[in-house]
């Protein structure tokens, strides 16, 4: 079987739909078709050919596309889809993304037969949104202009809805994405194929999964074990409770399996498990921008008192420790800034700006008792300005082996600082509790790399 590479990295793509057919169950519609064409025309850097079955002008069937596409994106009812896949396979097209759903078992079998006969690869059917690749602008989603910024996080979702939520979140908060894949019914390309592809993909540094069930469990674990040696793998599991698992069964026809079994399997594989969409992307951002934590000792550097205390609580709750600063560090800071008590969590006082943050962060990161730092820089009730946060980025970059995360705690405060930092190497969180959870994941990945995979991953 050829690789799944053509699904993400085609040079020539055919978009196969209809400007007339509307079908409720499978979601085929002229609207969906028009929007996929819009996104591909706008973002894709390769060659796009539109095949409109009912179009008045242009190409009306896949085998009439002037150049041979490597990938065909098909959004038609099952019968028409199968017909176009067969014609395309004969024409030599290697890969197919089937967006629409509603396929009966017999129809799935027809697709499988075509796969075997022509050696093609199929993502779907029922992927709904298909794939995104920010490197070449490939975007088969039917939401206009939904395009996350470039980055090195790759995401796989078994559910269209959770995938759409993840994609929306990534776009809105500027999470840097490499590839996005909606898996759908998985008659061919599955979690394992995508995991192996991302392992070799130079644009992927972190892999995120939303899974409900995994069919070839053992094979998936073995594949993940290899991948996590070089790239962290995160998983959000749906259908955790018995009640939801029953529902997941009818949703994606996957046996969700007992939660304990999954926990053990993830642990064995070195996959880090998270609890919700926010934590999945928050953790991914930390892993994509910072090194893993080599120890448990965290320093907190803050311009406000109360939030630093909540941060200290959160650090300890997440299985990490409050670092004890060395005497040397303490004296160095207190000599330079009388009034600042250099006890962790360090309160820099409300009038701290770049010079104080840079000096103290530098001193703390140079201390061998410290493995990582949570910086808190609120704007409200302090003198800190959003651009001052760049000093945190610069200082942290000089000690890149020790992770640093930034917390402009609040609503507008977060939005203002996040705008300044989103394209830098600094992960930014709106509350210390979220930053602490991200640091915990950085530590888990540190342990996975040190000791092999079998660490507590939840």
Applying the rule CB under 8 A, the residues between 311 and 340 that interact with its own copies are 312-317, 321-322, 339
> Which two tokens mark 127?
């992927």
Among 2, 58, 92, 306, binds its own copies (CB under 8 A): 306
In this complex, which beta carbon is closest to its own copies, that of residue 6 or of residue 158?
158
Q: Is position 405 an interface residue for its own copies (rule: CB under 8 A)?
A: no
Q: Which stretch binds its own copies (CB under 8 A): 68-76, 215-223, 286-294, 309-317?
A: 309-317
Find the shortest distance in angstroms from Cβ 266 to its own copies: 15
Q: Is position 297 an interface residue for its own copies (rule: CB under 8 A)?
A: no
Q: Which stretch binds its own copies (CB under 8 A): 54-62, 74-82, 274-282, 418-426?
A: 274-282
Name the pairing type of β-strands 150-157 and 233-237: unpaired
Q: For tokens 């070089």, name the residue.
A: 230
Among 89, 128, 221, 234, binds its own copies (CB under 8 A): 128
Find the shortest distance in angstroms from Cβ 249 to its own copies: 10
Q: Which stretch binds its own copies (CB under 8 A): 22-30, 63-71, 90-98, 420-428?
A: 22-30
DSSP letter (8 states) at residue 395: H
Find the shortest distance in angstroms from Cβ 237 to its own copies: 8
Quote the CA–CA distance of 298 and 437 in Å, as a whole number. Answer: 12
Quote the CA–CA distance of 44 and 58 in Å, as a whole number. Answer: 20
Q: Is position 347 an interface residue for its own copies (rule: CB under 8 A)?
A: yes
Q: Is the dihedral of CA 438, 442, 444, 445 positive or negative?
A: positive
Among 92, 415, 423, 458, binds its own copies (CB under 8 A): 415
Find the shortest distance in angstroms from Cβ 143 to its own copies: 5
Find the shortest distance in angstroms from Cβ 145 to its own copies: 10
> Which two tokens mark 243?
């009640």
Q: Is position 134 an interface residue for its own copies (rule: CB under 8 A)?
A: no
In this complex, which beta carbon is closest to its own copies, that of residue 89 or of residue 274?
274
Among 12, 135, 277, 455, binds its own copies (CB under 8 A): 277
Tell me which H or E stretch contains 51.
strand 47-52
> Which two tokens mark 303?
């311009």
The residues in 427-456 that bind its own copies, with binding defined as CB under 8 A, are: 430-433
Q: For tokens 């019968």, name the residue.
A: 79
Q: Is position 173 an interface residue for its own copies (rule: CB under 8 A)?
A: yes
How far is the first Cα of the chain from the last one, in angstroms, to the nearest whole number?
Answer: 35
Q: Which residues pair with 233 in a beta bridge?
A: 207
Q: Which stretch binds its own copies (CB under 8 A): 11-19, 84-92, 390-398, 404-412?
A: 404-412
Q: For tokens 């979601």, name the residue.
A: 27
Among 252, 283, 290, 297, binds its own copies (CB under 8 A): 252
Find the shortest distance in angstroms from Cβ 378 to its own copies: 6
> Which two tokens mark 275?
């609890």
The residues in 38-97 that bind its own copies, with binding defined as CB under 8 A, are: none
Contact (CB, 8 A) for 266 and 457: yes
Find the shortest distance in angstroms from Cβ 389 to its own copies: 16
- Size of residue set near its own copies by CB under 8 A: 81
Among 250, 260, 327, 335, binds its own copies (CB under 8 A): 250
The residues in 220-239 that bind its own copies, with binding defined as CB under 8 A, are: 236, 238-239
> Which two tokens mark 252?
């994606």
Contact (CB, 8 A) for 43 and 147: yes
How many CA within 13 A on the CB side of residue 83?
A: 11
Among 41, 241, 368, 400, binds its own copies (CB under 8 A): 241
CB atoms near residue 172 (< 10 Å)? 10
The residues in 149-168 that bind its own copies, with binding defined as CB under 8 A, are: 157-165, 167-168
CA dihedral 42, 45, 50, 56 (to 10 degrees): 50
Max CA distance (Å), the chain: 80
Quote the CA–CA distance of 299 and 220 in Å, as a whole number. Answer: 37
Q: Is position 345 an interface residue for its own copies (rule: CB under 8 A)?
A: yes
Find the shortest distance in angstroms from Cβ 381 to its own copies: 4
Contact (CB, 8 A) for 50 and 72: no
> Which two tokens mark 237?
């599991």
In this complex, which beta carbon is closest to its own copies, that of residue 133 or of residue 157?
157
Q: Is position 209 an interface residue for its own copies (rule: CB under 8 A)?
A: no
Q: Which residues pair with 155 in a beta bridge?
A: 180, 208
Contact (CB, 8 A) for 75 and 175: no
Q: Which stretch binds its own copies (CB under 8 A): 1-9, 200-208, 347-355, 419-427?
A: 347-355
Contact (CB, 8 A) for 444 and 323: no
């Amino acid at each position: 079987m050829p690789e799944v590479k053509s699904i993400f990295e085609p040079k020539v793509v055919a978009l196969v739909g209809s400007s007339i057919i509307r079908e409720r169950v499978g979601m085929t519609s002229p609207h969906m078709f028009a929007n996929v064409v819009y996104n591909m025309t706008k973002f894709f850097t390769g060659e796009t050919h539109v095949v409109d079955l009912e179009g008045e002008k242009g190409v009306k069937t896949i085998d009439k596309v002037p150049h041979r596409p490597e990938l065909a994106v098909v959004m038609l009812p099952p019968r028409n889809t199968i017909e176009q896949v067969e014609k395309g396979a004969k024409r030599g097209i290697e890969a197919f993304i089937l967006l629409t759903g509603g396929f009966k078992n017999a129809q799935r079998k027809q697709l499988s037969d075509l796969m075997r006969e022509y050696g093609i690869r199929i993502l779907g059917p029922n992927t709904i949104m298909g794939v995104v690749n920010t490197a070449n602008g490939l975007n088969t989603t039917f939401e206009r202009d939904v395009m996350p910024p470039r980055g090195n996080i790759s995401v796989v979702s078994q559910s269209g809805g959770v995938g759409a939520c993840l994609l929306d979140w990534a776009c809105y908060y500027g999470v840097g994405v490499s590839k996005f894949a909606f898996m759908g019914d998985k008659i061919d390309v599955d979690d394992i194929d995508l995991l192996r592809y991302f392992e070799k993909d130079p644009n992927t540094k972190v892999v995120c999964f939303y899974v409900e069930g995994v069919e070839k469990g053992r094979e998936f674990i073995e594949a993940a074990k290899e991948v996590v040696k070089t790239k962290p793998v995160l998983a959000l599991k749906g259908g955790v409770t018995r009640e939801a698992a029953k529902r997941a069964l009818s949703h994606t026809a996957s046996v969700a399996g007992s939660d304990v079994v999954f926990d053990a399997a993830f642990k064995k594989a070195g996959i880090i498990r998270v609890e919700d969409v926010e934590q999945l992307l928050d953790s991914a951002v930390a892993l994509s921008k910072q090194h893993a934590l080599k120890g448990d000792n965290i320093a907190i550097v803050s311009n406000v008192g109360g939030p630093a205390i909540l941060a200290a609580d959160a650090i300890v709750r997440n299985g990490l420790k409050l670092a004890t600063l060395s005497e040397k560090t303490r004296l160095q800071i207190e000599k330079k800034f009388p009034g600042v008590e250099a006890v962790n969590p360090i309160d820099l006082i409300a009038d701290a700006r770049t010079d104080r943050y840079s000096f103290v962060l530098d001193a703390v990161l140079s201390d061998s008792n410290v493995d990582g730092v949570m910086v808190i820089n609120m704007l409200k009730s302090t003198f800190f300005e959003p651009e001052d946060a760049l000093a945190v980025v610069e200082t942290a970059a000089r000690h890149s082996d020790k992770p640093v995360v930034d917390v402009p705690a609040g609503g507008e405060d977060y939005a203002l600082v996040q705008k300044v930092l989103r394209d830098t190497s600094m992960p930014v969180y709106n509350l210390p509790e979220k930053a602490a959870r991200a640091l915990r994941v950085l530590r888990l990945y540190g342990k996975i790399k040190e000791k092999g995979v079998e660490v507590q991953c939840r």
